[in-house]
């Protein structure tokens, strides 16, 4: 989902509500992919511990006002449907909560394509490897036959920590330079390129 602007904007709006220093766009985008508590601690390091609950509540207020309108990236549904149709075991590893992921899957009609999911409130947040270890165990897939596709350095680092290959996508939250520094197998710039990569390499 093309949620970067909504997530970053919701972090910034929550800070304004509480009179906290508002992080830059870059700082707010950088924490995307982490669990909410971890993300807010990194994006708003000066917030006192006593305000973390309020900050999370204000973030949810702003995000939930918009999350039903967040679009899929162009080509996302078609590519995932294609991979599902070819028999790939598809999983989701996300910094969202289970409730947030459930809303997203229902809103986009994507639930039926995924065989397993892990969220930040079910296990360790990225880049800890637990999400991938648990998904591989549930799906019965070895690390050698697993690929992480992600748009943040947290995704690629998660894959490295789990000793799994990764393909980075450049149209999400983190810039190409940071993604390439972690040496993914490839970097693609849209879902058409991702589909072509699978056709040639998977």
171: domain CATH number?
3.40.50.1000
Helices (H) and strands (E) in the chain, counts: 10, 5
List the domain range (segments joined by +) for residue 48. Answer: 4-68
For residue 14, the domain's CATH number is: 1.10.150
Domain termination residue (choose one: 39, 68, 97): 68
**Rounded-to-integer distance, Cα 34 and Cα 44, Å:** 14
Residues 133 and 155 reside in one and the same domain: yes
Residues 21 and 38 reside in one and the same domain: yes
Torsion-angle region of 89 (φ positive above 0: left; ψ -120 to 50: alpha; else: beta): beta
Count of structural domains, the chain: 2
| The pLDDT of residue 202 | 82
Residues 81 and 152 reside in one and the same domain: yes
| The pLDDT of residue 67 | 87
State how far Cα 109 lies from the chain centre: 18
| The pLDDT of residue 127 | 96
The residue ranges of the chain whose pLDDT is under 50 are none
Residues 16 and 83 reside in one and the same domain: no
Residues 85 and 177 reside in one and the same domain: yes
Residues 92 and 53 reside in one and the same domain: no
| The pLDDT of residue 193 | 96
Residues 110 and 19 reside in one and the same domain: no
pLDDT tens-place string over residues 146-177: 999 999 999 999 999 999 999 999 998 999 99
């Amino acid at each position: 989902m093309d949620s970067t602007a909504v997530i970053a904007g919701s972090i910034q709006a929550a800070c304004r509500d509480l009179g906290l220093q508002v992080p830059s766009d870059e700082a707010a985008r950088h924490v995307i992919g982490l669990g909410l508590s971890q993300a807010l601690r990194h994006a708003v390091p000066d917030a006192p511990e006593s305000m973390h609950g309020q900050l999370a509540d204000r973030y949810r207020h702003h995000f939930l006002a918009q999350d039903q309108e967040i679009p899929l990236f162009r080509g996302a549904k078609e590519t995932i449907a294609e991979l599902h149709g070819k028999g790939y075991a598809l999983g989701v590893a996300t910094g969202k909560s289970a409730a947030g992921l459930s809303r997203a899957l229902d809103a986009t009609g994507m639930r039926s394509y995924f065989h397993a999911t892990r969220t930040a409130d079910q296990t360790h947040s990225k880049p800890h490897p637990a999400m991938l270890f648990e998904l591989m165990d549930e799906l019965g897939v070895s690390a050698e036959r697993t690929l992480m596709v992600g748009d943040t350095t947290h995704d690629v680092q998660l894959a490295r920590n789990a000793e799994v290959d990764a393909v980075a996508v450049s149209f999400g939250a983190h810039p190409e330079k940071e993604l390439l520094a972690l040496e993914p197998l490839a970097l693609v710039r849209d879902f058409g390129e991702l589909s072509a990569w699978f056709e040639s390499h998977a």
